[in-house]
Structure 1
Amino acid sequence: MDKSVSVAAARLKKPSWKDPRLLIGVLLVLGSVAGVISLVGTADRTTQVFAAREDIAVGQVVTESDLAIVKVRLDEVEAGYVTVERGLTESRVALQRVAKNQLVPRESLGVADALDRKPVAIALDEELPAQAVPGSRVDVWVSMPGVSRAFEEPEMLLPSAEIAGISTGSTTLGSAKTTVVMVLVTDAQMPKLLGAQANKAKISVVWNPAGVVR
């Protein structure tokens, strides 16, 4: 028999399951399918977590009625957020502000005794800049009543205080509008601010664009 014919016949011979090339091909196909399944499974892995329905202020008691349930991919940062699976512990208060639609960080909730800042109302006659909104930072300046002149030189009392809320009102006669800013004050800062208010000091609030403590 011609040698070329023998080679062609060998090539046309039905492969055996013992053929290592066939086994390698099958393993490659199975590995590819397993990889695709694993990738799809990872892409679909979402976690149910709580998000704020509306802005949550510092000191506010938080219940499930204040929260919405959303599905997101958190992967390795899952432990940092309040998940539906772990649930929401009762009598939790907000230790930091949580904005509307923001996922709720676990560190943002705690007990009332853990609050290191409390909101204090400051009434202002002047308007605040548009950038001064809840969550932004302001510097609080105080001018104490003077003897020889109306007020002493202004001094910064609270650097980079966080705004907890803003409301508008009017004077008793309704002739002038007043802006009431709720700023978060630490226990250490509280006596000076309350003392300034009791002594009818002139208090001004200045937006701090850097948002940092000097």
Structure 2
Amino acid sequence: MADVVIHRVTTLDLKVEPWDWPFARERRDDIAAHFAEHQREKPGLWNGRILLGRDARFDGDRFAARYFETDFASLLAWRDWGFPDRTAFNGFGMGALRSADGAFVLGEMGAHTANAGRLYFPAGTPDLDDVRNGMLDLAANVAREVEEETGLTPADYQAAAHWDCVVTGASIALMRVLDAAESGDVLQRRIEANLAAQNEPELTGIRLVRSRGDLTAAMPRFVTAFLETQFSEAGPSA
């Protein structure tokens, strides 16, 4: 995993403050044209306000950063153009759902999303609804995204005390294991029933990952790196 670094932390110190992102300001016309092209292909894309990070710092069991407000169009262009401005990073939380029999629960992103076909844990880019007293509440963000995508609430799982921060290039995926009391097969049926009841679900299906043999190219590197670490900790049978 030479391209990946994973930090395990228990404290998040994520301040939200105004900042004029040079990339978004200087490339505004190009960004608008890029987003318009994406919208022609996927009319459901919405250019909402989101939060990105800068000045990431790991200090023992603490992760600190400063977050700023921008729009989704800028994030999408920045990503598609290979992250040309490294003064910012995409720091997002993910709920790593794990069943009682050890299966991790991932969802396949729908065709109408910006990451169609990719396999992820429940997640979403932080936004202003996740800000509490000037701080980004990533635990609340993860709980909200898990409920929106799967129907599961905090009463359905036990959240780990720590976060695994998976650093890959300009992204930091903050993974939190959520241990459910139900088996993988039961969780899969329950979540897929919830998706079937939605008019336009973000996910098209659920995949269970029980071992390294279940890892696929549809999973981003930060997901496979996290899972490889989890299976290593679980022992040779995983």
Q: Note whether the superposition's TM-score is higher than 0.5.
A: no
Q: TM-score, normalised by structure 2?
A: 0.24
Structure of greater Rg: 1
More helix by share: 2
Highest relative contact order (Cα 8 Å, sep 6+), 1 or 2? 2
